[in-house]
């Protein structure tokens, strides 16, 4: 080996530690760039947790209660007030459809509830996005049918007798009024 070749190889080996430092800096800077993006990700993560928590409460306190109100009060009142024959048959078919949709929506909700609880706690969750989209679409279609078909028909039927509309209103109101404790 000549002195020049030996000197060149020694120089390359001598530069290797500096290259290692440069490589480390590249990795460190890449990690710091990721860290710098963290604040922008915290707000959406907090929003996701809040949406999950709010949705859990809303389904329990509003949607399930809404379904009960319809099935216990509205549907029977409209059925009882409908004229026998085609009108009552139409109402019966509509209430059966709506009740079936309630159960389907509730089943979709149950499939999502566990994962939403985890999201609400900031934990990793295997949220079934397809079921979530299906729930939203199913409820939108359900509400659309009620708003455009069933509720206008209900208003016509119950509107024929103001006592029927008043009875429905009172029934719904009484369910919301706190009942005094009978044991006091």
CATH H superfamily, domain 51-176: nmb1532 protein domain like (1.20.120.520)
Contact yes or no for 87/150 (Cβ under 8 A): no
Residue 8 clears pLDDT 70, i.e. is over it = no
Confidence band, pLDDT 50/70/90 cuts, at residue 49: very high
For residue 126, count CB atoms less than 10 angstroms from its CB and return exposed for 0-12, middle for 13-18, buried for 19 or more: exposed
d(CA 83, CA 158): 11
d(CA 42, CA 21): 32
Report pTM. 0.74
When pLDDT is averaged across residues 119-125 and rounded to a whole number, the result is 94
When pLDDT is averaged across residues 54-69 and rounded to a whole number, the result is 92
Residue 9 clears pLDDT 70, i.e. is over it = no
Domain boundaries, the chain: 51-176
d(CA 52, CA 27): 36
pLDDT tens digit string along 143-181?
Answer: 999 999 999 999 999 988 776 566 665 655 455 555 555
- For residue 154, give Cα distances in angstroms to 89, 90, 162: 13, 11, 13
Alpha-carbon Rg for the chain in angstroms: 32
pLDDT of 105 reads: 97
Residue 5 clears pLDDT 60, i.e. is over it = no
Confidence band, pLDDT 50/70/90 cuts, at residue 25: confident
When pLDDT is averaged across residues 96-119 and rounded to a whole number, the result is 97
pLDDT of 74 reads: 92
């Amino acid at each position: 080996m000549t002195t020049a070749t030996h000197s060149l190889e020694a120089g390359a080996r001598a530069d290797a530690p500096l290259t290692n430092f440069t490589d480390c800096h590249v990795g460190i800077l890449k990690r710091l760039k990721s860290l710098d993006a963290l604040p922008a990700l915290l707000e959406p993560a907090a929003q996701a947790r809040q949406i999950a928590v709010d949705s859990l409460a809303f389904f329990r306190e509003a949607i399930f209660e809404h379904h009960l109100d319809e099935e216990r009060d509205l549907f029977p009142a409209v059925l009882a007030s409908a004229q026998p024959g085609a009108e009552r048959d139409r109402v019966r078919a509509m209430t059966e459809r709506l009740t079936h949709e309630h159960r389907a929506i509730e089943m979709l909700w149950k499939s999502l509830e566990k994962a939403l609880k985890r999201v609400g706690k900031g934990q990793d969750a295997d949220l079934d996005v397809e079921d979530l989209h299906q729930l939203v679409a199913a409820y939108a279609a359900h509400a659309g049918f009620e708003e455009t078909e069933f509720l206008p028909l209900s208003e016509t039927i119950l509107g024929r007798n103001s006592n029927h509309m008043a009875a429905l209103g009172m029934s719904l109101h009484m369910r919301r009024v706190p009942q005094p404790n009978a044991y006091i």
